[in-house]
Structure 1
Amino acid sequence: MAVNVYDQANALEGALRKSDEFKTMKEYYEKVNANPESKTLFDEFREVQMNLQQKQMQGEEIQEEDVQKAQKSAEDIEKDENIKALMEAEQKMSELIQDLNRVIMKPIEELYGVNNEN
């Protein structure tokens, strides 16, 4: 009997949605969006981050002004408890996804002998 990997992936997606990590992240995301000050800070932070990433991807030099703006934005969001909690929840979700990626990649790593002392 063949295993449909996509069915398994869809089941995993459903499990992620039910996970405590995702539920916590969603709760804090909703709190950020419900608070006008938090939402404004969060949107500004994301815009600064996206602009920096875009410049990096296009090979543009990052100016000192860009770095200072990013640092100021990061400092501002650290002071906001809603955003701080959301970012902590994002970190936990990221750790979960990294753990899942290790599990998913295990057959390929074993096939090629990655991390084996052959």
Structure 2
Amino acid sequence: MASNIYDYAYELEKALKNSQEYTTLQARYEEVRKDPAAKQLFDQFRNIQMKLQEKQMTGQNISQNDVQEAQNVAAIVQQNPKIVQLMDAEQQMSIAINELNKIIMKPLDELYGRMSQ
């Protein structure tokens, strides 16, 4: 039995790796990775996303060209069924993680909720 919160966190990590959401995500990623055209397109899409996030986080302006490039690649990505399935699996994993985060944060929400009453 776990004896501290870190032990529980490692147990949660194992549970996530064994979850349906993760195993589906892993399988969908492998399908994209094994298809050179899909992998190249997916990498291009991810690089554009990261570039835009970095600009946003550092307060840089996102140009109309940046937006247009992202929209163009996104439109192409939406036509690739393997990438669409991967993105759907990513979304399901994200939903699961958000739900877990709500559960984990519940004690603090309750504590601070009581303080404001």
Q: Normalising by structure 1, what TM-score?
A: 0.93
Partner of 2:22 in structure 1? 22
1:3 to partner: Cα distance: 3.8
Unaligned runs of 5+ in 1: none
Answer with 105-114 or 5-14: which moved more: 105-114
Q: For residue 60 of structure 1, report the CA deviation from its aligned partner.
A: 1.3
Deviation at 1:117, TM superposition (A): 8.8
CA RMSD of the aligned region, Å? 1.7
- Residue type of the partner of 1:87? M
What is the aligned partner in structure 1 of residue 112 from structure 2? 112
C-alpha distance after superposition, 1:18-57 (max 9, x if no partner): 0000000000000000001100100000111111111112
Could you say which residue in structure 2 is the equivalent of 1:61? Answer: 61
CA deviation after TM superposition for structure 1 residue 61, in Å: 0.9
* Corresponding residue number in structure 2 for 1:85: 85
Post-superposition CA distance 1:59-99 (Å, at most 9, x none): 11111110000001111110000100000001010000010
What is the one-letter code of the residue matched to 1:106? K
Count of paired positions: 116
- Amino acid of the structure 2 residue aligned with 1:30: E
Matched-pair identity in %: 48
The residue type equivalent to 1:43 in the other structure is D
